[in-house]
Amino acid sequence: MRKTAVLTVFLGVCLAVTGQNNWSSPALDLPIDARSGGLGFKIAADLNHNGYATSYNPAEADSLDSGVIHLNYLNYIAGAQIGAVNAIVKGTEKYAVHCGARFVSIGQFDGYDASGWPTGTFSGGDYFLQSGFTYKVDSTIILGATMWGGFRTLAMENVGALGVDLALMKRWEEKFMAAGVLVSGVGRQFASTGSQPVGWIPVNLQLGFTKGFNHAPFVLFVNLQNMQEWDLAPAGTYDDAIDPLTGETIENTTWVFGDQLARHLNIGVELSFGQNFRAQIGYDHRRRKEMIANGLQGANGLSFGLGMKMKDLDVRFGRNTYHFAGASTHLSIGFNLPG
Percent of the chain with pLDDT over 90: 55
Band of residue 321 on the pLDDT scale cut at 50, 70, 90: confident
| Domain region containing 269 | 2-227+264-336
Does 2 have pLDDT greater than 60? no
Band of residue 158 on the pLDDT scale cut at 50, 70, 90: confident
268 within some domain: yes
234 within some domain: no
Does 322 have pLDDT greater than 80? no
171 within some domain: yes
Number of domains in the chain: 1
Per DSSP, the three-state class of 201 is coil
Find the helix or strand (DSSP H, E) in which 133 lies.
Answer: strand 118-136
Band of residue 294 on the pLDDT scale cut at 50, 70, 90: low
pLDDT for position 110: 80
pLDDT for position 143: 96
* Residue 246, CA distances (Å) to 14, 52, 237, 241, 251 in order: 50, 57, 22, 12, 14
Q: Rounded to two decimals, what is the model's pTM? A: 0.85
Query: Beta-strand (E) ranges in 173-287?
Result: 177-193, 199-200, 204-212, 218-224, 241-242, 249-250, 265-272, 277-284
Does 73 have pLDDT greater than 90? yes
Per DSSP, the three-state class of 134 is strand
110 within some domain: yes
31 within some domain: yes
- Region 185-207: what's the mean pLDDT? 88
- Region 212-216: what's the mean pLDDT? 89
Ramachandran class of 326: left when φ > 0, alpha when ψ lies in -120 to 50, beta otherwise: left
Per DSSP, the three-state class of 222 is strand
161 within some domain: yes
* CATH code, 311: 2.40.160.60
Three-point CA angle 269, 273, 276, nearest 5°: 105
302 within some domain: yes
pLDDT in tens, 43-55: 999 999 999 999 9
